[in-house]
Structure 1
Amino acid sequence: MYFFIEDTNESVKIGRAKDVEQRRKALQTGNPRKLHLLGWIHTKNGADVSLEKSLHKEYSPHRGSGEWFDIDPADVLPILARHGIDGFAGLSGKSFEVIGHDQDGIPEYHGVWAWGDLEHYECCPFCGSFCGLQYQEASCMYHCLQCDAFTSLEDPNHQEEE
């Protein structure tokens, strides 16, 4: 399952594909507006068909053309979060870019998701999984259950693996 949005942010495409990036490229062909990946859900045993059908039904009052729905990108977050470790946000690629400092001098980061605020405990900034980073007391590090990344979050460019 995938969720795409166009540059204009007017609608969200809810669809399914085995290769999400290949599908994005195919949809991009002939489309003058750039398509962005909001997120995806990894499904097993053909569950993507029933999930797509239920989401299309749930959002049918907002249906535009085909599989495009007039919903806000933030409406995709609860769907992705419901699927926990199998739900992923399309990362901004700037997760740890410092955009400023608060009044106490603490760095403020760009964020994981370009369309809304997500914290590292909600969504892994390395792989986008909604399992979030789990704090491990033994190592004093944060750990992602999906991509197995470890970080202290003090040096965001440094990842350690066990």
Structure 2
Amino acid sequence: MQDVIRVQTQDFDVAAEYARLAGDATVGAVVMFVGRVRDLNPQPELIALELEHYPKMTEKALHAIVLKARARWDLGAVTVIHRVGPMQPAEQIVLVLTASAHRDSAYMANAYIMDYLKTEAPFWKKEVTANHSIWVDARESDSTAKQRWEG
């Protein structure tokens, strides 16, 4: 089964993407991560999250992350869909599906892909409230999460 890696402005259909992977009889496990826009600072209320990227650079980075995951775990298929542009609170941002014959590979690869996506993929986030817009800095916790794979 072929991997799917897309960067897009429109929302994605989780059920359709899952069905594409789950139809393969060699797949014993599908692990799913769906990232959503959250509002952690209700004062002032988040109006939108805007994600920007460099298209060719971003897609190249996502492919490289998936290839690294494939080198570590036996995976049947991988889906990575990441949205860009303006999004409202509670909207979906990212989908990572990892399919494997066994659950351990699917679980580990999914976490690995997300940890590297958060630190290696060239996306820039801007939070927009009624009062201001602010670019979001990278989080130390994301770098720490990635380090567990490098030991």
Scaled to the shorter chain, the TM-score interval is under 0.3
TM-score by length of 1: 0.25
More strand by share: 2
Q: Name which structure has the greater RCO, CA cutoff 8 Å, separation 6+.
A: 2
TM-score by length of 2: 0.27
